[in-house]
Amino acid sequence: MPPVTWESVTKPAFNRLNKKKSLKEHFFKKGKATMKKFKKLFALAVAATMVLVMSISVFAASITINSTATDDEAAVETTIYTYYKILDASIEDASKIIVDPETGESTAGTGDDAPKVSYYVTTEAKATALEGLKVGEGENAKPIFNVVKDATQAKWYVELNKDTNASAEQIATALDGVKDTFATADNTFAQTEPGGSATADDLDAGYYLITSTLGDVLVVQTLADIEINTKNTYPGVDKTINSSDVNAQIGDEINYTLTVEVPESANDIIVLTDTMDAGLTFKAIDSVKAGEDDVPYTLTPTTPAAADKEFTITFAKDTVIANKGKTITIEYTAILNKDAVVETGIPNDLVLEYGNNYKSVVKTVETKTYKFQFDKVDGADTGETKTKLVGAEFELQLNETAINLVEVEAGKTYRIATTEDTTTTTKIVTNGNTITINGLDSDVTYSLKETKAPTGYNLLEEPVEVKATETEGEGEDAVTTFVFEKIDVENNKGSVLPSTGGIGTTIFYILGSILVIGAGVLLVTKRRMDA
């Protein structure tokens, strides 16, 4: 018996172990390869199933509309989109539609790689509506679609009429007229802020009409996900004040101009709401025009009263559509009334609303009126505090004509009168207080004429000029300011002696001449009597 060694015992066992391990690895590798082949076959089967499913119109796509409007153009803008599935679609080679497995977004090939599609409708009402759509008028009108009924099933196949060759815009406009036939429930999606997006998901393959509350009308086909960029054009509005009315006198007419830019897509009512400060009173709408043509409108209240500080101008839907692409200009006037606060901007605000979902930012313009103050003082006083005089009387004049005033507080405060004031005066009387006159226009030069001097004082020979001082600001946002500086109107005591060449000297010459002539007459008379 051979001796027992490591090789005679361990080596055969080790070899058997290695042989078993090799067999296991062999079968594992073989099984793994088989599994790879099975997975590929399974993937192919799934792909084939997806192609088959898509070919029978089981499909989901999305429509996303991105707004490029800026947020400084609107205070409130909720744009509501409505989609109408006009045509169903059968996709014959859906393999040409690629779906990103991570995002789920789909894209369709183009040109030779574009999928083949058949469009159809499933009701006679829809087929009839499409058959009636034409481009052109009268004898020149041509049908947009060719509609053919499938004799074997309830389908009407729809194709574009090549002879008509209608554009997307013409098709969209035509379909907009029959969209109610294709309406369904829950077919809206919204963009709630300027510069935002709106998305409609899980849409069947087909041909869609999309409308918006801003008047957009477009058509798209959803063979894959669709993304559209639009500015969401809405009416623009501006408000200006006549440059000569930026500074005004109480009682003046203030002239305003409103301009409305009507976009080509506009198809809803436009309402302008004008809100005036208490210091303004509506007078009249002077004109509403698009170019040289009058534009119909509705004013509410029909005849605004003095207490009505808000009025609206409404353009009906038909009027808006008739003025697409035009600028409507509204001119109206208001009166700066007795409640105007001096040296404070008196605002007039405007807001435009379009349909039910758009509201513009507030457009504000201001006018301003001013005050003038003076003290009647003794000209002999040289100190800082001068003696104020009573009993002087003045007129505030413009172009040498006395201005009607209302005495608000006796001997202290006056304001420019309006046509509505029944008790007015042209006389300003001093009683030792500072006199304030409210409601002046900084753009004109007034004069203060003394008509009666205080007892014992000389009357001023020339009127005192009353004019605002203009100060220009600095920097980009600089504002020019106006102010009527407070002044001292001085009177002096004492006699007023005539100057050389004045009437005082002349009268002496006249008297002297009379005396000389008289003496000569007496002399001649006496000599005759003596003779």
Same domain assignment for residues 376 and 477:
yes
Q: Is residue 208 part of a domain?
A: yes
Same domain assignment for residues 346 and 449:
no
Q: Give the CATH number of the domain where residue 342 resides.
A: 2.60.40.740
DSSP code, position 133: -
The token duo for 374 is 């003076």
Q: What is the mean pLDDT of each run of 10 residues along the chain (531 residues)?
A: 37 42 45 44 39 45 82 74 93 64 56 75 96 90 94 90 91 94 93 83 92 88 84 86 96 97 91 97 97 97 94 97 96 97 96 89 95 95 87 96 96 95 95 96 96 95 95 76 94 67 48 57 57 56
Strand partners, 79: 191
What pLDDT is stored for residue 39 in this prediction?
Answer: 40
Q: Which helix (H) or strand (E) holds 510?
A: helix 503-530
Strands, DSSP E only, in 26-68? 61-67
Longest Cα–Cα distance of the chain, Å, equals 218
Say if CB 114 and CB 92 are below 8 A apart.
no
Residue type, 486: K
Residue type, 131: E
| Distance in angstroms (rounded) separating the CA atoms of residues 216 and 355 | 13
Same domain assignment for residues 398 and 374:
yes
Domain extent for 281: 236-367
What pLDDT is stored for residue 520 in this prediction?
Answer: 58
Same domain assignment for residues 218 and 96:
yes
Same domain assignment for residues 347 and 377:
no
What pLDDT is stored for residue 366 in this prediction?
Answer: 96
CA distances from residue 297 to 236, 362, 372, 460 in whole angstroms, order as listed: 18, 21, 43, 57
What pLDDT is stored for residue 112 in this prediction?
Answer: 63
Same domain assignment for residues 278 and 427:
no
Same domain assignment for residues 353 and 476:
no
Phi, psi of 152 (to 5 degrees): -90, -20
pTM: 0.70
Same domain assignment for residues 97 and 16:
no
Q: Is 524 left (phi over 0), alpha (psi -120 to 50) or beta?
A: alpha
What pLDDT is stored for residue 351 in this prediction?
Answer: 96
Same domain assignment for residues 93 and 214:
yes
Same domain assignment for residues 225 and 243:
no
What pLDDT is stored for residue 36 in this prediction?
Answer: 41
Number of domains in the chain: 4
* 3-class secondary-structure state, position 9: helix
Say if CB 250 and CB 369 are below 8 A apart.
yes
pLDDT digits over 464-511, tens only? 999 999 888 777 777 789 999 999 999 998 765 555 544 544 444 454
pLDDT digits over 348-366, tens only? 999 999 988 888 889 999 9
Q: Give the CATH number of the domain where residue 432 resides.
A: 2.60.40.10
What pLDDT is stored for residue 258 in this prediction?
Answer: 97
| Distance in angstroms (rounded) separating the CA atoms of residues 369 and 367 | 7
Handedness of CA 460, 461, 466, 471 (dihedral sign): negative
Same domain assignment for residues 143 and 252:
no
Q: Is residue 515 part of a domain?
A: no
Q: Which is nearest to 265 in space by CA: 236, 241, 290?
A: 236
